[in-house]
A and B are shown apart, each in its own frame.
Chain A
Amino acid sequence: MASTVETDLSRPPDTYVDVRTQELQINMGPQHPSTHGVLRVALWVDGEIVTRAEPDIGYLHRCAEKIGESVTHVQYVPYTDRYDYLAAMNNNLGYCLAVERLAELEIPEKAQYLRVIMSELNRIASHLMSVGTYGIDIGAFTAFFYAFREREEILRLLEWICGARLTYNYIRIGGVMRDAPQGWVEDVQRFLDWFEPRMDEFNQLLTHNHIFVERTSNIGVITVEQAHDYALSGPNLRGSGVRWDLRRDQPYLLYDRFEFDIPVGTGIKGTVGDCWDRYWVRILEIGESARIVRQALAQMPKEGEVMAKGVRHLAFKPKAGEAYTAVENPRGELGYYLISEGGQISYRSRIRAPSFCNLSILEALLPGTMLGDSVAIIGSIDIVLGEVDR
């Protein structure tokens, strides 16, 4: 008699044993070398693959917005340095532009040129820090030192003009703190001439290194829809191919007088919007910022006022109103929403931090990747916890 037992091919054989017992819940941070600050990412991992990720922020919360309602506008400018401490000039600039818009102040031309030069130098320094530490996250230690060697030069120039290396308080309401000292402009020119060949060296070391490309391409791909959904801005948005830059599309200061390109990610090493694209956009932006600084140095008037007339620093009162002003931070769109009632202290000062929005994409990007990739992805988003938590 033929056997009546039929083999059910859809059922796994009885020798198949699922050895997984439970998911591992692991904390990345708050003390971790690669989270770029006090960030905790709660990961649920299945072996090496992340199944769920929840960023937990607030470890660096310093009541910035409450302080904004307690001190005067002029007193608040040094506080703005401390949010994105790697791009402090841009923070200063954003707040001062917001207050000046409410007060309808005219800024003298030389001050505007100095503001542009400072912002762009700080952009170069911030991007160098970002790509250097990204190298360390991936394991290439030497690239970090090369990037920091150049950054030291920029910090020396900034210290020369305003006395501080990291938190400058240089861009003030009404203009800038003081004029460039004698010899400073030539030194910046010399720095740019020395610096631009160094980027080729850096690219040779890290950017085109096969292992680095393998680690970062096709990882953490952000589509354009996702980017808009999470309100990404800056290199994160441009890495996905969207050519949006506030310096070009909503010009402030004198950016319409300069010629510069907006680099976007094109997916040359993998997919458009992967980690390598974001990193590559930052590298190209360093070159573009150097271009802008050269043009600004050439166009800047030799003599001129650096502070607007009639700004009563000890009793500064903008007009009543509410306005949202945005500038292009190295990390994205930095905005200040101020509600002023015409007094010395603003009624509400809200900071739109780019890293706050950029960080929220982690809960969508990390699941499905490996643990080593999560480090690469967090590094490519380039967050600074100072402005995430304020």
Chain B
Amino acid sequence: MSAAREVLEILLKEGMAQGLSLFEGPQDPALVVPQGRLHEVCAHLKRSRLLAFEQCVLVTGTHMVEKTDPKGIVVRTEGFEVMYHLRSTQHHRILAVKVILPAEEPPTVQSVADLWRAADWHERETYDMVGIVFEGHPNLHRILLPDDWEGHPLRKDYLYPREYHGISLEVDPQWPAP
């Protein structure tokens, strides 16, 4: 279970909680951090003795597409979300940090690769798959896909290229389109 509530209280005590909020969520609560304060907050999360999040376990990027329910209320706004999962082995906590990005092109967020080396490859993968640009990343190139691939596959509006270097990638018309 994410320890977002606890962490937010500690951050309030340590005076770092400006602009932060809590995403209650049915399952894991997450600490929502505004885009401009991400690096600062993460540095504090790593260095504070009460928090001591030494490991950046996962960086996830998701493309959010606008969705309205049958009554016309917007349930999901257009944009991108970047989730960071941090772990503290000292205090036995895991924390989910969420950054909500508006729908601009390209979506940018500060990189935390200098704080945790593990985030280096995860951010590269997020860039590769979702197209989120991490400012300050030492080596932001595609990692899983070939360097000359076009498009970011995990976007919801991604269309497969029809051919790649002469290899045909025709999609079976029976299969539902992504």
Contact = CB atoms under 8 A, between A and B. Distances in A.
User: Most chain-B CB neighbours within 10 Å: which of A69, A70, A339, A348?
Assistant: A348
Contact of A337 (B83, B92, B120, B145): B83
Contact of B178 (A58, A70, A324): A70
B20 interface: no
Interface string B147-159: 0000001100000
Interface in A39-94: 57-58, 61, 63, 65-66, 69-70
Nearest to B28: A323
A102 B27 contact: yes
Given A348-B60, A352-B58, A230 B83 contact: no
B143 A322 contact: no
A324 B85 contact: yes
A77 B120 CA distance: 29
B52 to A, nearest CB: 10
Interface residues of A, number: 40
Contacts of A228: 54-55, 89
B176 interface: yes
Given A250-B92, A321-B26, A229 B118 contact: yes
Given A249-B92, A322-B28, A65 B116 contact: no
A206 B122 CA distance: 36
Contacts of A66: 153-154, 178
Contact of A244 (B56, B60, B89): B89
- Give the most central of B28, B94, B116, B142: most A CB within 10 Å: B28
Given A231-B116, A360-B121, A335 B57 contact: yes
B27 A65 contact: no
29 contacts: A58-B146, A65-B129, A66-B154, A69-B154, A102-B27, A228-B89, A229-B118, A231-B87, A231-B116, A242-B89, A244-B89, A321-B27, A322-B25, A322-B83, A323-B27, A324-B2, A324-B28, A324-B58, A326-B94, A337-B83, A339-B62, A348-B60, A348-B62, A350-B58, A356-B121, A360-B117, A360-B118, A360-B120, A390-B144
Chain A at the B interface: mostly helix, strand, loop or mixed? mixed
A383 to B, nearest CB: 13
A101 interface: yes
B135 to A, nearest CB: 20
Nearest to A361: B117
B42 interface: no
A61 B144 contact: yes
B96 interface: yes
A356 B125 CA distance: 10
Contacts of B83: 322, 337
Given A250-B92, A337-B85, A360-B118, 8 more contacts: A57-B143, A58-B142, A70-B176, A228-B89, A231-B57, A231-B118, A322-B25, A356-B125
